[in-house]
Amino acid sequence: MEIRHDNEYDLFFSTVQAAFGRYWPESAGSGILGAYERERSLVAFTPDGRPIGTAGAHSFDLTLPGDVVVPAAGITAVGVLPTHRRQGVLRAMMQEQLADIRARGEFVSTLLASEAVIYRRFGYGPATYTEQLTVERHRTAFAAPRWAAHETGTVELLRRADCADLLEEIYDRYRRTQPGALSRPHRWWSLGAGHSPTSPEPRYLAVHRDADGVANGYASYLVTDATLTVDELVATDDAAFTAIARFLLEHDLVKQIRFQHLPPGNPLRWQLADLRAAQPVETDWLWVRLLDIPRALTARGWFADGSLVLDVTDPFLEEHGRYQLTVRDGKAECVRTDLEPDLSLDVSDLASVYLGGTLPSVLVRAGHVRAHHGEAASRADALFRSDRIPHCVQWF
Ligand SMILES: CC(=O)SCCNC(=O)CCNC(=O)[C@H](O)C(C)(C)COP(=O)(O)OP(=O)(O)OC[C@H]1O[C@@H](n2cnc3c(N)ncnc32)[C@H](O)[C@@H]1OP(=O)(O)O
């Protein structure tokens, strides 16, 4: 088998399509898939030159806790032909790809996993979660809030063709302070703004402006079979979030409103008069892989002082390191140490707690992480917490 960077777009996409057994018309080059970066695409070939596997990558910026933005790979379009599976093709591509990511100077990689059983062995761990919330239309009355600020903004419906620049600007402001959010290349907006990546119908776009006329939130949605589906609701503050949610919930001629992607911990259920009118379903979303632990841990912002010794194993890259993490005044130091560890963990578990979306103590209780004394888990919980719950709405 040979793995090489291959810029041949049609070859890459015909192989991806065959691996998934699907046909996406966008892959002809005009749709959202056209935003892929060809120079980062890997293709695996048989010795006689036939393509059998693919792994693509985007160059994103990822927001870490503390409004820190760092370069991150976004792995995508991973597939192996059904005729060549379970023979190590993905393993070989992952090895090549992680080496390439390191060589580019990126210390974190991300992906959305088609199946949760695939990527842990390669060092990825689930790091953000997302909530689908469905509300019955006849139960959308809002509770009378006691302290909420008076809403003075406006919601306007815009055509997709008229607002790509505006959405891009709102999204960019939002993602810079939202841990777990990824940048979207300009190309993505001109190709895909307001479109669902997985269905071809155009979306409607509701844009919120504050009392000064500044656009600070939007939602893209579509009504089908009496269900109003909100692909994404992006807002830079709670007033914009609430105004847009209320606008969507009050839509006529629908039986239910389904928000596909809300951040865990969002206030919407509490804003309804009937707490049970909305039933949340949570799933994992962004998976993260760390490639340089000291760099990763010193890059993010921290919100409690403290110290931990972490003994981290990385079986896939055959690496092992013991690190002392010391946080003071929001900044971390991370150095190699021989001190006794507080926690022993796999690099995929460190990735899961990295953005503050997974509690280390849950991984201890699950038996994934080993705590060496009674206080270790609660100290790690306090240390790794983020200022905001991480969330990612990007599909890639
Ligand atoms: C970021 C993304 O793009 S997500 C999309 C991933 N792609 C898909 O889901 C498309 C359909 N599936 C496929 O194309 C293939 O099954 C892949 C890419 C998931 C796996 O490719 P393969 O070449 O078969 O994987 P490979 O043989 O290298 O397997 C490596 C290990 O992962 C395991 N593994 C791989 N895929 C799976 C799976 N779907 N379920 C369970 N285990 C799996 C293998 O058993 C093997 O385990 P081992 O190391 O203990 O022996």
**Residue pLDDT, tens place only, 251-275:** 999 999 999 999 999 999 999 999 9
For the domain spanning 2-106, the CATH number is 3.40.630.30
The structure tokens 């580019």 sit at: 104
Helices (H), the chain: 9-20, 89-103, 160-175, 186-192, 238-249, 268-271, 293-299, 347-354, 360-365, 376-384
- Supply the pTM of this predicted model: 0.96
Pick from 213, 209, 217, 224: nearest CA to 255: 224
Pair of tokens at residue 257? 């409103």
pLDDT band at 27 (very low <50, low <70, confident <90, very high): very low
90 annotated ligand-binding residue: yes
Residues in contact with 163: Cβ distance below 8 Å, sequence separation at least 6, in sequence order: 193, 194, 205, 207, 218
Token output for 250: 């009050």
Based on its alpha-carbon atoms, the radius of gyration of the chain, rounded to whole angstroms, reads 22
Is the pLDDT at 126 greater than 60, yes or no?
Answer: yes
pLDDT computed for residue 203 by the predictor: 85
Task: Give the number of other Cβ atoms within 10 Å of residue 320's Cβ.
Answer: 11
Q: For residue 21, report the distance from its CA to the centre of ligand 1, in Å.
A: 15
* pLDDT level of residue 188 (50, 70, 90 thresholds): confident
- CA 178/CA 217 separation, integer angstroms: 14
Q: Which two tokens stand for residue 348?
A: 């995929």
Domain spanning 292-384: CATH superfamily? SCP2 sterol-binding domain (3.30.1050.10)
Interface TM-score (ipTM) > 0.90:
yes
Cα separation, 62 vs 178, in Å, equals 9
91 is in an annotated binding site: yes
Q: Is 79 annotated as a binding residue?
A: yes
pLDDT band at 197 (very low <50, low <70, confident <90, very high): low
Task: Tell which residue, 131, 133, 388, has the closest CA to residue 279.
Answer: 133
**CB-neighbour burial class of residue 380 (10 A; exposed 0-12, middle 13-18, buried 19+):** buried
Cβ–Cβ contacts within 10 Å for residue 104, how many?
13
| Identical fold, 2-106 and 130-284 | yes
What is the best residue among 22, 78, 94, 394 to mutate for testing ligand 1's pocket, by most ligand atoms within 8 Å of CB? 78
Question: Which phi and psi angles does 101 have, rounded to 5°?
Answer: -65, -45
For domain 130-284, the CATH class is alpha beta
pLDDT at 195: 60
Domain spans, the chain: 2-106, 130-284, 292-384
Taking the centre of ligand 1 as the mean of its atom positions, its distance from the CA of residue 126, in whole angstroms, is 17
**Average pLDDT of the residues of the chain:** 93
Residues 6+ apart with CB under 8 A from 364: 343, 370, 371, 376, 377
Ligand 1 mean position to 349 CA, how many Å? Answer: 20
Structure tokens at 280: 């949340």
β-bridge partners, 278: 135
Higher pLDDT, residue 209 or 160: 209
Pick the atom of ligand 1 nearest to 113's CA. 4
